[in-house]
Amino acid sequence: MHKDEVDLFLKRANNFLEAAKERFEKQDWDLTCFFSEQAIQLYLKASLLELVGEFPRSHSIRKLFANLSQISEKKIEYDRKSLRFLEDSYFNARYLDYKYEKEDASDALTIVDKLKKIIDRVRKDFRNRKEKK
């Protein structure tokens, strides 16, 4: 296993999430959205690395989430529009003359919270299956 890399990615993911929350408190909606996307992207990569030993070299959280879905025995329910919103946040907040509003930033944090719960459930189920073998 790649424990050191997994730990590093998880630490960075948590740092990005904390930064997103701090930026929200400072009413910086653009960076709240951007940091939220970075947090979930790294959380997905860490989880895939932990569970299957690799992850696709992609910034697409939809692609990363699809990979996670493939290793889950249970159907994963998620909103593709939410994933797309976060993906767009990565690009829009960095490169475009686009301004996010408070509701967008709040949505980004809510989406990340929901996705983390889904990912954690997949990680737990996967580890339980592995232990039973």
Is residue 73 over pLDDT 80? Answer: no
For residue 79, name the pLDDT band (cuts at 50, 70, 90): confident
Residues 6+ apart with CB under 8 A from 71: 48, 51, 52, 122, 126
Question: What does residue 65 show for φ and ψ, rounded to 5 degrees?
Answer: -65, -40
- pLDDT-derived band at 1 (thresholds 50, 70, 90) equals low
DSSP 28-86: -HHHHHHHHHHHHHHHHHHHHHHHHS---S---HHHHHHHHHHH-SSPPP--HHHHHHH
pLDDT higher than 80, residue 45: yes
Q: Residue 127: what pLDDT?
A: 82
CA distances (Å), origin 39, targets 14, 75, 127: 7, 23, 22
Q: Tell me the whole-structure pTM to 2 decimals.
A: 0.92
Q: How confident is the model at residue 90 (pLDDT cuts 50, 70, 90)?
A: confident
* pLDDT tens readout for residues 18-29: 999 999 999 999
Residue 26 DSSP one-character state:
T
According to CATH, the superfamily of the domain at 3-132 is Nucleotidyltransferases  domain 2 (1.20.120.330)
Domain ranges of the chain: 3-132
